[in-house]
A = this chain, B = another copy of it.
Amino acid sequence: MTIENISQAKVAGGWHKQYTHRSSTLNCDMRFAIFLPPNVSKSSPVPVLYWLSGLTCTDENFMQKAGAFQRAAELGIAIVAPDTSPRGDEVADDEGYDLGQGAGFYLNATQAPWSQHYHMYDYVTQELPALIEANFPVSSIKSISGHSMGGHGALTIGLKNADSYRSISAFSPISNPMQAPWGQKAFQAYLGSDFETWKQYDASELLKQAQAKLPILVDQGDADNFLVEQLKPEALQAAAKAHDSDVEVRIQPGYDHSYYFISSFIGEHLEFHAAYLNQ
C-alpha cells in the first residue's frame, strides 16, 4: 500500500496534503486529500471524518471551498476526501456529467462496462480507511459526511456499516435515488434493473431496514434548484419517522446547492461529529 505525496500546504496550523496511489479495488490510480489538525502524532492519533463529494467533483472541491479547517483544527479531527469515481483513460466513461467518471455514486457496479472499475463502495469502506490508518497518525474512529451524490454516499455507507462509523451527516443528499432521475440513470447503468439491488443503495429504503441507529444530521437549503426533482428529503424524513430513527433534517431557508451553503454550516456538522468522535 504505497502512497505518493503530490502536494502539501500548511493551513489552520495543520496540513492539507494530496496523495496518489494504485487502488487494487478500483484497478486504477487514485488521488485523495487529507487534512491533519495541529499536534497529531502516532502517540496521540486523531479520529477521521470522511467527506464524500458530489457529481463532477474531485478531492479538491471540499478542501478548497468548505472553509472547514479552522474548526476541524480546534476540534482535533482529521478529514479525508477521496475522488468521486475511478479515473483514467482505461476507465469506462459517459458523455453525461451524471454517469461515469466523476459520478461513481459510491456503489459497487455489477454491469459491464462499469463493473471493471466502479467499486467505490468497497474503496470508501475498505481500501481507503486501511490506507489512511496505515499511513497517518489517525485512529480507527471515524464518521462520514458528504454533499449531494456524496450525501447519498455518506448516508448509505453509514447506514450499512453502523459498526464502523460513529455518526453520519449530509448536505443536500440524494435521499431517495430510486425515485429521482440522477439515481435512476446511475442505478440502471451500474446495477441493472433489479429494484431489490437498488434498495441496497437508497438511503430512505435502508433507513427502513436499519438495525443500529446512528445519529444523523442533514442540512438542506430550500432554494436548492435540485430539491424537488432530485433530492427528496421528505422521503428520508418519512422513513426516519416510521422507524423512530435519530435523524434530524434541517431545512435552511434561502440556501442553494453550492459550497456557499456547505461553508455556512460545516462548522456545526464538525461539532455534531466531534461529539461522537471524541467521546
| A interface residues with partner B (beta carbon < 8 Å) | 9-13, 16, 64-65, 67, 69-70, 221, 223, 254-256, 258-261, 263-264, 267
Given A64-B65, A65-B65; A260-B16 close (CB under 8 Å): yes
Q: Is the CB of B13 within 8 A of A264?
A: yes
Q: Is the CB of A264 within 8 A of B70?
A: yes
User: Bound state CA distance, A179 and B38, in angstroms?
Assistant: 36
A54 to chain B, nearest CB (A): 15
List 20 additional contacts besides A10-B264, A67-B69; criterion CB under 8 Å: A9-B255, A9-B258, A9-B260, A9-B261, A10-B221, A10-B223, A10-B255, A10-B256, A10-B261, A11-B260, A11-B263, A13-B264, A16-B260, A64-B259, A67-B67, A67-B70, A67-B263, A69-B260, A69-B264, A70-B264
User: Bound state CA distance, A260 and B254, in angstroms?
Assistant: 28
User: Bound state CA distance, A16 and B223, in angstroms?
Assistant: 14
User: Bound state CA distance, A9 and B261, in angstroms?
Assistant: 8
User: Bound state CA distance, A9 and B256, in angstroms?
Assistant: 7
User: Bound state CA distance, A16 and B16, in angstroms?
Assistant: 26
* Residue ID in chain B nearest A69 by CB atoms: B263
A17 to chain B, nearest CB (A): 11
